[in-house]
Amino acid sequence: MPNQKDSQKVVLTEEMFHRVGVDEHSSENVVRPNISYWQDAWRRLKQNKVAIVSMSFLIFVALMCIFAPHIYPHAFDEQIIEHTNQGPTASHIFGLDDLGRDIFARVWVGGRVSLAIGVIGAAISLAVGVLYGGISGYFGGAIDNVMMRIVEILVGIPYMIVVILMSIILGKGMGSLLVALCFTSWTGLARLVRGQVINLMESEYILAAKALGTPTYKIIFRHLLPNTLSIIIVETTFSIPSFIFAESFLSFIGMGIQPPNTSWGAMAALGQQQMSNYPHELLFPALAISLTMLAFNLLGDGLRDAFDPKLRQ
């Protein structure tokens, strides 16, 4: 026989329900503000405290390189012979080197050269790499094959050989160093841009734009370039410390900036000779190189996370 409880029907009455109603004003409120991709990226970057601290430090270093040599009472090439190799004091914050020159003033003057090489070199690599990779990925086919084979040949050339050749042809200095470093540095960015453009060319909106007869320059500047801009910015941020390290290394071995000019690498090379007895002459330029490179890398990590569309909320 069926269970008596199962056979009973539940009767629903009006008293069992509560009328909620509709609030027409609250229904029109926007729950989440409509922000653009760049606004969302900036919002996420601000949440990354490490990236913000790194960016603040880089701004501080740039401002010190610009204004400190004009404010500081000692010139970077002033020699105080009677106090050579003096350690840090109140009047000479970072001490003096083996020629009696103030290390604090020389750090910021040398930072101008090192940062200039990093920023200018990254800008040149950015322009060449984006243009070359964009053309290769957009046209494809035989043009892409030929252009990529050229890139592979350039990647196989050791940059030290290029540096030596440029030093012989143009002489040692900032100009020849930039030419040598930029000769092959753009190849990595060109490959990234090419790969991104090839993926975008298969997108429906690109195919639709081509079918509608949209000019090539509009497709490039309205669709391809904005969608690859995040990759370009992140890669450029990572390339700046690479240039700074390359300049420091070449100046350290005597192939970079020559006296009377100075850079962080040139200062480290001179400080290395006095490291045993006067470690402060190597410590401060080495710290400048290390902290600046670390800040750029941490900022690049933050930008990569901020521009990642998968992390957008």
Q: Which of 38-42, 59-63, 298-302 has the highest mean pLDDT?
A: 59-63
pLDDT of 11 over the 90 cut:
no
Query: Does the pLDDT at position 183 exceed 90?
Result: no
In a domain, 132, yes or no: yes
Within a domain: residue 70? yes
Per-residue confidence band for 59, with pLDDT thresholds at 50, 70 and 90:
very high
Confidence bin at 60 (pLDDT 50/70/90):
very high
242: containing domain? 49-311
200 part of a folded domain? yes
**Spatial distance between the Cα atoms of 32 and 264, rounded to a whole number of angstroms:** 48
With respect to residue 29, please indicate whether it lies within any of the assigned structural domains.
no
pLDDT tens-digit readout, 159-175: 788 888 888 888 777 88
Give the number of domains in the chain. Answer: 1
118-155 per-position pLDDT tens digit: 999 999 999 999 999 988 888 888 999 999 999 999 88
Count of beta carbons in the 10 Å neighbourhood of residue 163: 22
Supply the CATH number for residue 205's domain. Answer: 1.10.3720.10
Whether 185 is covered by a domain: the verdict is yes
Q: How confident is the model at residue 55 (pLDDT cuts 50, 70, 90)?
A: very high
- Contacts of 15-19 with C-beta under 8 Å, sequence gap 24+, read none
Q: What is the pLDDT of residue 115?
A: 92
66 domain-assigned? yes
- Comparing C-alpha atoms, which of 154, 112, 106 is closest to residue 132? 154
Record the pTM: 0.79
* Cβ(262)–Cβ(110) below 8 Å: yes
244 within some domain: yes
Longest dimension (CA), the chain: 115
CA atoms within 13 A on the CB side of 100: 7
Domain-located, residue 5: no
CA distance 65 to 106: 10
Angle CA 214–236–217, to nearest 5: 10
Neighbour count for residue 262 (Cβ, 10 Å): 25
Confidence band of 28 (pLDDT split at 50, 70, 90): low
Helix, strand, or coil (residue 74)? coil
Residue 107 is predicted with a pLDDT of 92
